[in-house]
Amino acid sequence: MNLENKNVITLGAGSSGRAAAALAVSAGADVTIHDSRDTISDLPKGVKAVANATTATGNASSCDLLVVSPGIDGNSDFVQSYQQHAGEMIGEVELAYRFYKGRIIAITGTNGKTTTTEIVDRILNHCGVSCVPCGNYGMPFSELPLMGEPPAVAALEVSSFQLETVVDFHPNVVIWLNFSADHMDRYPTLQAYKDAKLRVFENLDADDHVVVRAGEDVGDFKASVATFSTETNADYTFQDGWICEGGEKVIDLSVTQLRGLHNAENAMAAYAACSVLGVKAEDVNEALRGFAPPLHRCELVRTLDGVEYINDSKATNLHALDSALRSQSRRVVLIAGGKQKGLDYTELLPRLQTTTKGVVVFGEIAQQLAATLEAISDTVPTTVATSLEEALGQARDMAEHGDTILFSPGTSSFDMFSGYEERGDCFRRITNNLK
């Protein structure tokens, strides 16, 4: 892509926007970051800034290339005001793709992306293939082309927000983990959310590979397909703690700290994708020895008085919450709730009845969630808390020796916290202070 002497505007001064700006400057462009925040500091060298940007700013601006950060809705009036005077509009992932020369394993799905991305990174680097996790997790994709020695493979976690603005983006391997309702505060319909994710397949050809959970409807494409599942027949399955390939046990997950069937599926998807690049099962076994998933994902914080306390703050949608419930071997006292995202918890009622002895709800959605759970109150009592600390106290009162207190909110955290990380850290801190 030739950006020499081109005028580039990057919308958004977060990490993705700054990385895109730095990449465009390195390619010879005249770059300005626009953001609605009051001040923009610590800019990449050679990048200018416009703070307090509005639709009026956009209407008065023009550029050869508009790069939109994923956190900004491309259909908003703000973005549209800039797009009308832009030669082309793309996102940060698309910009990085046009400069990165290595191979790309793109990991998408509603849940499990980050764990899978980390497993891909761990396997490949252990097997002598340089790899960096990036995109929606790790460093922004745009930083890879600027590295002195870019990695041979990008383990690229891509969200629906990032995929909205791709054009030529063409990964070599795509992992599609699962799909369920999420981000309904950004998308008008569930199909619109899925259509954004499906864009990951748009430019694949017969030389590419897709790894997909068996039973997922992702349409037709020319790439070769491998399936995985812990629940049904597939190319990669799970038996007695082992990942099986073609029915043969090949990867022993007992040497890892991965908990639950959902994490077994993340591991088998990662192994299937890395197999495309020639890694061997025996090397993967060694690579995964001692591997633990990232924080806030079914993280065992402690065991107190025979009760496990599990931090699953990353469960920001119902599929993640359902997966966490499905992965537990003990009876569960569930702590759930948070921001109102328009999700329908009624679909979880059958799972809650079979796994859960009590529920504590909190946050913006607490009263609505409590009303939904009234349908199963005869078997699963529900209480309402005004804070996470109070929720933990109520959950502790319900739990008995041999139970699990599972903090798996099922929605996002922005009603009370800056993100799921702060929410999970708060749960961990309160739990560790219990006597």
Between residues 186 and 122, which one has the greater pLDDT?
122
Has residue 322 been placed in a domain? Answer: yes
Distance between CA atoms of residues 33 and 40, nearest Å: 9
- Of 43-57, 135-149, 206-220, 338-352, the one with minimum mean pLDDT is 338-352
Has residue 71 been placed in a domain? Answer: yes
Has residue 142 been placed in a domain? Answer: yes
CATH of the domain at 269: 3.40.1190.10
Among residues of the chain, what percentage have pLDDT more than 70?
Answer: 100
CATH of the domain at 393: 3.90.190.20
Closest to 105 (Cα-Cα) out of 180, 155, 50, 30? 155
Has residue 126 been placed in a domain? Answer: yes
Tokens of 145: 């082309």
Q: Can you tell me which residue has the tokens 């996102």? A: 91
Q: Residue 195 belongs to what H/E stretch?
A: helix 190-198
Q: What does the pLDDT average to over 400-424? A: 96
Instruction: Specify whether 265 is located in the same domain as 307.
Output: no
Instruction: Return the percent helix, strand and coil in the chain, to nearest 5.
Output: 35, 25, 45
Distance between CA atoms of residues 395 and 101, nearest Å: 51
Instruction: Specify whether 26 is located in the same domain as 108.
Output: no
Has residue 292 been placed in a domain? Answer: no
Distance between CA atoms of residues 132 and 145, nearest Å: 12
Helix axes 388-398, 420-432, angle to 10 degrees: 50
Has residue 2 been placed in a domain? Answer: no
Q: Which of 95, 122, 152 is the last residue of a domain?
A: 95
How many CA within 13 A on the CB side of residue 265?
Answer: 27
Instruction: Specify whether 89 is located in the same domain as 104.
Output: no
Distance between CA atoms of residues 33 and 30, nearest Å: 10
CATH of the domain at 68: 3.40.50.720
Per-residue pLDDT tens digits for 243-257: 999 999 999 999 998
Distance between CA atoms of residues 115 and 123, nearest Å: 12
Q: What does the pLDDT average to over 173-200? A: 90
The DSSP output letter for 167 is S
Instruction: Specify whether 239 is located in the same domain as 124.
Output: yes
Q: What does the pLDDT average to over 276-297? A: 92
Per-residue pLDDT tens digits for 89-106: 999 999 999 999 999 999
Instruction: Specify whether 219 is located in the same domain as 129.
Output: yes
Helix axes 318-327, 261-275, angle to 10 degrees: 110
Instruction: Specify whether 161 is located in the same domain as 17.
Output: no
Has residue 158 been placed in a domain? Answer: yes
Model confidence at 48: pLDDT above 80:
yes
Distance between CA atoms of residues 399 and 104, nearest Å: 46
Q: Which pLDDT score is estimated for 232?
A: 93
Instruction: Specify whether 151 is located in the same domain as 283.
Output: yes
How many CA within 13 A on the CB side of residue 144?
Answer: 30
Q: What does the pLDDT average to over 252-269? A: 92
Tokens of 200: 């990951």
Q: How far is CA 359 from the centre of its chain?
A: 26
Has residue 1 been placed in a domain? Answer: no
Q: Which pLDDT score is estimated for 332?
A: 97
Q: Which pLDDT score is estimated for 327?
A: 83
Q: Which of 46, 64, 95 is the last residue of a domain?
A: 95
Count of C-beta atoms within a 10 Å radius of residue 140 = 23
Distance between CA atoms of residues 160 and 136, nearest Å: 10
The DSSP bridge partners found for residue 154 are 104, 132
Instruction: Specify whether 112 is located in the same domain as 91.
Output: no
Per-residue pLDDT tens digits for 189-201: 999 999 999 999 9
Q: Which of 95, 116, 151 is the last residue of a domain?
A: 95
| Number of compact structural domains in the chain | 3
Instruction: Specify whether 156 is located in the same domain as 62.
Output: no
Residue 189 burial (10 A CB sphere; 0-12, 13-18, 19+): exposed
Instruction: Specify whether 33 is located in the same domain as 163.
Output: no
Q: Residue 352 belongs to what H/E stretch?
A: helix 349-355
Note if the pTM is more than 0.85: no
Which residue range is the domain that position 72 belongs to?
Answer: 7-95
Instruction: Specify whether 135 is located in the same domain as 167.
Output: yes
Q: pLDDT band at residue 260, thresholds of 50, 70 and 90?
A: confident
Instruction: Specify whether 130 is located in the same domain as 221.
Output: yes
